[in-house]
Structure 1
Amino acid sequence: MHTQPSNYLKRVACAVITVSDTRDKDTDKSGKLIVEQLHASNHQVNLYKIIPDETELIEQTVAEAVHSKEIEAVILNGGTGISNRDVTIESIQHLFDKELPGFGELFRYLSYQQDIGTASMLSRAASGVVNNRIVFALPGSAGAVTLAMEKLILPELVHMVTEIKKDLT
């Protein structure tokens, strides 16, 4: 575990975007889990949206979030599988200024070990930097969201945002 310098950022302003054709605010268990875990870790949620699996809408929503002064991190859930309607990755990957392949690799490894076994190879979970914001795309299942948040995102979120911001003027 790394130590944090005294000037280290403590709270991250986040956007949570659920990509689903079937969920709404009452049935969005995964989006609510992300929001709850961010709040429990003392982070802000300045945007929470549920949008359908539509390429242009996903791209537009992420672009708006990463250009908002009130957002430092974007966490999407849903649309990362291999069905025809799973278009989250295609919608955002070309926006990445820098891709972080280690996130998807670690997520699939942990999913294999701790959650769903060989079905983890169907996940296309991804992360990258867009306009100096960290963006994560997670599967939509509650198990996947909990695993990603607890084991990967929350332990490194402050560190990632701090690294992105450290050379900016």
Structure 2
Amino acid sequence: MSVSEHKAAAKQAIRCTVITVSDTRTEETDSGGALLMQMLKDAGHIVEHYFIIQDETLMIQEKIKTIASLKSSDAILLTGGTGIAKRDHTYEAVQVLLNKEMTGFGELFRYLSFVEDIGSAAILSRAVAGVYQDTAVFSMPGSRGAIRLAMQRLILPELGHVVREIKKDL
């Protein structure tokens, strides 16, 4: 089956959870999370859950584990905490949980960031994606520009296809 046939066979409306990882954001100030949810809805997907959690490894991991165990979402999209500052723990929290990592996501995100957006500062990004317990997981930086880039160029074009591949043998 070709890539276009795979995409055509994919579900159109994916059930998603959005998690903003931040020590300072609130629902009123979380413009990145709001953008992410709006982009998902505009693309015909369903936002089942939305959380803002602190940038703590165990909190991030527990939230991912809980959402995956509920089976109410096909994809978990995290934003924030992917840099190299002392308080950035999202990459470590997510990467170790993944049963299968989609290394191309981080590689392409950094390439696109370099070419289209922020130049050499792209090396500071630790975007990561993969599969945890039959759930797609995408983790991206918290800036609106990074969210827009990841969603438009990588996640939205493939979200249905990714979920189809994960769920097809269940």
Q: Normalising by structure 1, what TM-score?
A: 0.96
Task: State the distance in 1 between where 2:107 and 2:8 align.
Answer: 31
Picking from 63, 70, 76, the partner of 2:65 is 63
Residue identity opposite 2:115 in structure 1: Q
> How far did residue 129 of structure 1 move?
0.3
Paired residue for 2:145? 143
Paired residue for 1:38? 40
| Gap runs ≥5 in structure 1 | none
Contact 2:7–2:160 (Cα < 8 Å) also in 1 = no
Residue identity opposite 1:60 in structure 2: E
Q: Write out aligned runs for 1:62-141 (5 A).
A: 62-141=64-143
Shift of the 6–78 alpha-carbon distance from structure 1 to 2, 3 Å rule, reads closer
Task: State the distance in 2 between where 1:122 and 1:60 align.
Answer: 26
Task: State the distance in 1 between where 2:19 and 2:163 align.
Answer: 18
Q: Which deviations, in whole Å up to 9, do the C-alpha atoms of 1:26-61 show, x marking residues without a partner?
A: 110110111000000010000100011111111111
Larger CA deviation: 59-68 vs 77-86:
59-68
The question of 1:51 aligning with 2:50 is answered no
| Gap runs ≥5 in structure 2 | none
Alignment root-mean-square deviation, CA: 1.2
> How far did residue 13 of structure 1 move?
0.2
> How far did residue 3 of structure 1 move?
3.8
Shift of the 53–165 alpha-carbon distance from structure 1 to 2, 3 Å rule, reads same
> How far did residue 5 of structure 1 move?
6.5
Task: State the distance in 1 between where 2:77 and 2:142 align.
Answer: 11
Task: State the distance in 1 between where 2:150 and 2:34 align.
Answer: 14
Q: Secondary structure at the match of 1:9?
A: coil
Q: Percent identity over the alignment? A: 49
Picking from 20, 23, 30, the partner of 2:22 is 20
Q: Secondary structure at the match of 1:14?
A: strand
Shift of the 59–12 alpha-carbon distance from structure 1 to 2, 3 Å rule, reads same
Q: Normalising by structure 2, what TM-score?
A: 0.95
Task: State the distance in 1 between where 2:9 and 2:158 align.
Answer: 16
Task: State the distance in 2 between where 1:7 and 1:104 align.
Answer: 26
